[in-house]
Structure 1
């Protein structure tokens, strides 16, 4: 081998050495980044810092993008509408899930993101800790048993993780499913005054209380104290009427099932039947502190899919859903009145 050939070989060897060093440096950097995210020991016992508290969470679940943040009082809110009555439990649970996220398995050798649905992931999440540190997650395909998902963290393409499906399930909850439903007043019979059911006909039920005994406090006795109540309709005693008893039972168990539309347009409200309601239920009752209160329940059309009716409460424009078994007695009397009493047309 002449001098020229030896020089060429030496240059080739030097070039190969430089390239090898560069590759090792890149791998070392990615490994160090992974270890920094997993802990200084490189252990995967806890991917996220268990002591981390998050101030912002944003994610895309395949169909919608939702973003949440903490306000000055430490309460979570939906950034698209800070006034949205958000059920805090959902975000508290998600923050806890992130803080304790642990891999079921780590894949480091020959892992190609595209083989796991991670080249263009359908689900992504970013979480900002209170110290400003940003963590990003990308979720790919489900495992063969459907109980886990492949995941990339902070764009570390050399390390893939398999995590439980808990985070995916939490990300799949719709925003209206996070709506904190208002509690309707407790309408026990001793609090009820008049009940007006308006539909095709109008029927008014009035409670008449006879002072049969005096409570220990010296105040007039209520049914709960042993007093009696008579229900009148058009001057007739309808206390024993089966329809009246069903109406009273439904009033004492009123409960909203779900939010359908938080800020509905006029067109949406009309589609749900609120231009010409099916029925209006007005209840005058005694509230806390012996104050006179009124509950108005406006019932629209049957829901387009599933069971129940669209409803509105008092002056709230939000459209809710109530199941049919919570309304059928009220709607029957609003439509046809009582069989045993006079109804006003």
Structure 2
């Protein structure tokens, strides 16, 4: 019995030693990783080092026209038109890219600025932080996959990955947050009411005599894609340009089911654009979309 107890005790001691070695190795590996990260960070040359959340404005032109964004109450806006439906992830990612640029190389005893294309920069990127500090970055010629870069007012030239420009290389249209459009078809369309020139036409799915009409208008409603816009923040006084003012527009009210609940979609259909499309708006949206004449004709059962 004593031998058996002694054997168990030895196994417990061995297990404790193995656990101690295991946790000791984990702690040592973690400390080595932290050390390596600290050494790498110490060796990293920061061209800019501003937290993205501290950046309150961005201004640049990297080939898609002059773009300027500003942040108020933690929300980003397109500065020239605050009503533009800006998708927030774009300026957030841009602020992250501009504020945390690291250099592949820092050039010492370099040539004159014209040797790097910095006397006439290809691009300029400017941001302002919450303290009002303005940082302007000048991008010159490319060397391989890198740009020559310097901060305005500094004499130091760096080489920086072209991915910085890639993160900014979007048009304003790319950054638009378009409206969601529901899935509508003959299986869930309950009713469509069209009002035009003071007259109302109703297509009801419960009316068996209108089965073909319901299928036609449901096909039109189901074919709509909100992908092309003519105006991203139309003013009320400009609605008549598109035939979308109250007196001119056609109103389509579509009742449909979603998750066993009835929903209402309101579409306003305006003039033709001369290129095979018509101007269309969703209720409560300020975006004027372009939808093909064929789809609009189907929606109106023309």
TM bracket, shorter-chain basis: 0.5 to 0.7
Whole-angstrom distance in 1 between the partners of 2:235 and 2:129: 37
Aligned residues: 258
Question: What does 1:127-142 correspond to in 2, within 5 Å?
Answer: 127-142=127-142
Matched, 1:328 2:294: yes
Matched, 1:293 2:232: no
Q: Which residue of structure 2 aligns with residue 261 of structure 1?
A: 231
Whole-angstrom distance in 2 between the partners of 1:166 and 1:285: 47
- Quote how far apart the aligned CAs of 1:285 are: 0.8
Whole-angstrom distance in 2 between the partners of 1:250 and 1:332: 5
- Quote how far apart the aligned CAs of 1:181 are: 1.1
Contact persistence 2:244–2:268 (CA under 8 A): no
- Quote how far apart the aligned CAs of 1:274 are: 5.3
Whole-angstrom distance in 1 between the partners of 2:177 and 2:299: 31
Matched, 1:166 2:163: yes
Alpha-carbon spacing, 1:160–1:250, altered in 2? closer, same or farther (3 Å): farther
- Quote how far apart the aligned CAs of 1:268 are: 7.2
Contact persistence 2:192–2:203 (CA under 8 A): yes
Contact persistence 1:177–1:259 (CA under 8 A): no
Whole-angstrom distance in 2 between the partners of 1:191 and 1:332: 14
Q: Secondary structure at the match of 1:98?
A: helix
Q: Which residue of structure 1 aligns with residue 149 of structure 2?
A: 151
- Structure 1 length as normaliser, TM-score? 0.59
Q: Which residue of structure 2 aligns with residue 32 of structure 1?
A: none
Alpha-carbon spacing, 1:187–1:104, altered in 2? closer, same or farther (3 Å): same
- Quote how far apart the aligned CAs of 1:89 are: 0.7
RMSD over aligned Cα, in angstroms?
4.1
Question: What does 1:216-255 correspond to in 2, within 5 Å?
Answer: 232-233=209-210, 237-238=211-212, 245=215, 247-252=217-222, 254-255=224-225
Q: Which residue of structure 2 aligns with residue 311 of structure 1?
A: 280
Structure 2: runs of 5+ lacking an equivalent = 1-40
Contact persistence 1:278–1:301 (CA under 8 A): no
Question: What does 1:175-186 correspond to in 2, within 5 Å?
Answer: 175-186=172-183
Contact persistence 1:179–1:259 (CA under 8 A): no
Residue among 196, 203, 206 paired with 1:205: 203
- Quote how far apart the aligned CAs of 1:315 are: 5.9
Contact persistence 1:183–1:255 (CA under 8 A): no
Alpha-carbon spacing, 1:123–1:282, altered in 2? closer, same or farther (3 Å): same
Alpha-carbon spacing, 1:283–1:184, altered in 2? closer, same or farther (3 Å): same
